[in-house]
Amino acid sequence: MPSDKLIQTTSETGPLSFSADSLAAWCRDGKVHFYSLQTGAETRTVEIPQNARRSFTFGPRSLYAASANAEHVIALRDLKNGEILHQFRGHTAGVGRMAISDDNRQLASTSAEELSIRLWDIPTSNQRHKLPDGIGGASAVAFSPDGKTLVVANNDTDLRVFDTQSGKLVKLITEQLLAMFDMSFSPDGKLLAAAGADGVISLFDSTSWRKLRELKGQPHLIGALRFSPDGKLLATGGFDADTVRNPVKVILFNAATGAALRTLDAPHTVRSLEFSADSALFAASYGEKRISLWSTTA
């Protein structure tokens, strides 16, 4: 495996996603670019049409991607060739944050104007539930690894936990004073890590939904957060409250002890942070024509 390196890109980078041998990045040129993990070289691109770039999310292992167009229709594309596999119709206003479940069978989409969350069955393209959201627009969306739970964070600072089968609100978590900007489940599904404008990682028990503990040490607000696939690490990417142009820190924590294992520099607010499947690498994008790829063990 390579040690720390920069992958040079031809366009500014946004969301990232690892597969077994490559790193995919949605870029500002409207294409998904794939880079070899061995060499860092670009291997291929998939175009997302001009009118379908308003909202974008990768599915697990960058097999699929969902994006919404100006008519609020969401398309799920096969990232092997860009072919549209499913379309999801129902939103009447702008689509915001979205997420795809680990088994690629469920899609959650949000709309700040509609004050709602829609849960779609991917194989049939049918809307299964329309769920009530808070008043400020969704700031993060996460499925539990088993797909049975959906958590939506809202800019009004509340977290809503839904049962994806029944569509019932299982828990409304209101204790946070500030909004959570990203969330990540531990791979065993027992913990939900959430972080945002308070710069602290909050770890919630996914049965009681009580906050178990907090991990501190990120000097900025936190814009991106991920559990490693082996569950041992948590990475946070800084979010600068004053301007996206200020440098920030990326910090790798031991998830069990909260110890900061690596502290790295990013030139701007981190847009996306992802681990490779073997937890050996993690990557950050920050709106520049490059991606930082770091080893977790250095």
Taking CB under 8 A as the rule, does residue 70 contact other proteins? Answer: no
Do 61 and 20 meet the contact criterion of CB atoms below 8 Å apart?
A: yes
Rounded Cα distance between 208 and 203, Å, is 12
Question: Smaller CB distance to other proteins: residue 33 or 91?
Answer: 91
| Residue 178 CB, nearest approach to other proteins (Å) | 5
Nearest Cα residue to 21 out of 3, 1, 4: 1
| Residue 287 CB, nearest approach to other proteins (Å) | 12
Nearest Cα residue to 111 out of 134, 127, 129: 134
| Residue 77 CB, nearest approach to other proteins (Å) | 27
Taking CB under 8 A as the rule, does residue 172 contact other proteins? Answer: no
Tokens of 169: 């609100």
Taking CB under 8 A as the rule, does residue 181 contact other proteins? Answer: yes
Taking CB under 8 A as the rule, does residue 249 contact other proteins? Answer: no
Give me the phi and psi of 12, to 5 degrees please: -65, 140
Taking CB under 8 A as the rule, does residue 71 contact other proteins? Answer: no
Question: Smaller CB distance to other proteins: residue 148 or 171?
Answer: 171
Taking CB under 8 A as the rule, does residue 288 contact other proteins? Answer: no
Query: Residue 87: exposed, middle, or buried by beta-carbon count in 10 A (0-12, 13-18, 19+)?
Result: exposed
Q: Which of 192, 197, 255, 293 binds other proteins (CB under 8 A)?
A: 197
Q: Which of 12, 121, 156, 163 binds other proteins (CB under 8 A)?
A: 156
Q: Which of 62, 116, 176, 276 binds other proteins (CB under 8 A)?
A: 176
| Residue 195 CB, nearest approach to other proteins (Å) | 13
Question: Smaller CB distance to other proteins: residue 12 or 78?
Answer: 12
Binders in 42-61 for other proteins, by CB under 8 A: none
| Residue 19 CB, nearest approach to other proteins (Å) | 31
| Residue 86 CB, nearest approach to other proteins (Å) | 29
Taking CB under 8 A as the rule, does residue 179 contact other proteins? Answer: yes
Beta bridge mates, 74: 68, 88
Taking CB under 8 A as the rule, does residue 111 contact other proteins? Answer: no
In this chain, which stretch among 51-59, 236-244, 249-257, 270-278 interacts with other proteins, using CB under 8 A?
A: 236-244
DSSP code of residue 59: P
Q: Which of 155, 206, 236, 285 binds other proteins (CB under 8 A)?
A: 155
From first CA to last CA, the distance across the chain in angstroms is 12
Taking CB under 8 A as the rule, does residue 182 contact other proteins? Answer: no
Question: Smaller CB distance to other proteins: residue 41 or 70?
Answer: 70
Edge to edge, the sheet with strand 290-295 lists 5-8, 290-295, 281-285, 272-275
Nearest Cα residue to 29 out of 13, 8, 7, 52: 13
Find where tokens 């981190």 sit. 270
Number of residues that bind other proteins (CB under 8 A): 23
Helix (H, G, I), strand (E, B) or coil at 51: helix
Rounded Cα distance between 265 and 102, Å, is 30
Contacts of 206 (CB under 8 A, 6+ apart): 144, 149, 185, 189, 190, 191, 192
Q: Which residues bind other proteins (CB under 8 A)?
A: 112, 135-137, 139, 155-157, 176-179, 181, 196-199, 221, 241-245
